[in-house]
Chain A
């Protein structure tokens, strides 16, 4: 399979390049296929390649010493990962794992530097990509810092819980996000945190409130 120029145009790094420029970039790239759950990049290890997702999805995450996983982002087609380590020459700040079969386009650090020197537009695009990445990480810091979100999720769970004797409307994480004034990813993180606290159990189709008092304490603490 050859690297498609049309696809390259959709990658934010290469926005605004003409056909000739895209072709010169294309010839410096290579393809890599990755199986489901394969770790493409390990945290703290050196990264020599900037990867672009052509198909599939890649989870970018950090793991604590206790084995707790924090997803930083999910890279989808057109997205990239390894950006930070490629540009600061440091170790990778996060791991990257294929969530299913994934096709990647890769470009080495050296080849990327050649492109940046030859195509100023790519340098400008890179600034925007890294600024977007910074914005996303700042939003993540905000979500993780202001613990009141978890209190709002706890309140929704208490308000919406049924006793099992009568049917209750089913809620999606998106529904709960809309009710809590946040986004789905924050609700997902909050539910996981509540499960780790022992307040709830996430089961198929069901969120079971295992300890009502823990939830009530979280609601109180968030006010």
Chain B
């Protein structure tokens, strides 16, 4: 799931406003990540965050089914 750096986040909620799948919500005025399988990793939350507090980390790997 997307990860929030609580030290950087000022809970402005821009990420919550663009999140289409409900993975990011306000709980007691704090932006919180909810575990959900509907998160399509669109990365819009990361794109709109003005403070770089929200990230969507990737694991990079070779796709063995497509390599020659």
Residues of A within 8 A of B (CB): 36, 55-57, 74, 76-77, 99-102, 157, 160-164, 168, 170-175, 184-185, 188, 201-213
- Which positions 40-55 of chain B face chain A at CB distance < 8 Å? 40-41, 43-44, 46-48, 50, 52, 55
Residues of A within 8 A of B20 (CB): 36, 100
Closest Cβ of chain B to A82, distance in Å, is 19
B61 near A207: Cβ-Cβ < 8 Å: yes
| Cα-based distance from A36 to B60 in the complex (angstroms) | 32
Closest Cβ of chain A to B12, distance in Å, is 8
Residues of A within 8 A of B67 (CB): 209, 212
* Chain B residues with a Cβ closer than 8 Å to the other chain, count: 30
A173 near B60: Cβ-Cβ < 8 Å: no
Tell me if B33 counts as interface (CB < 8 A to partner A). no
- Give the number of A-B contacts (CB < 8 Å): 103
- With A56-B17, A101-B17, A203-B41 known as contacts, the answer to whether A212 contacts B62 (CB < 8 A) is yes
B18 near A100: Cβ-Cβ < 8 Å: yes
> 11 extra interchain contacts, Cβ-Cβ under 8 A, other than A188-B47, A209-B60, A209-B67?
A74-B48, A99-B44, A161-B60, A163-B64, A168-B59, A170-B59, A172-B56, A174-B52, A185-B47, A206-B61, A208-B63
| Cα-based distance from A201 to B67 in the complex (angstroms) | 13
Closest Cβ of chain B to A190, distance in Å, is 13
Residues of B within 8 A of A170 (CB): 57-59
B62 near A168: Cβ-Cβ < 8 Å: no
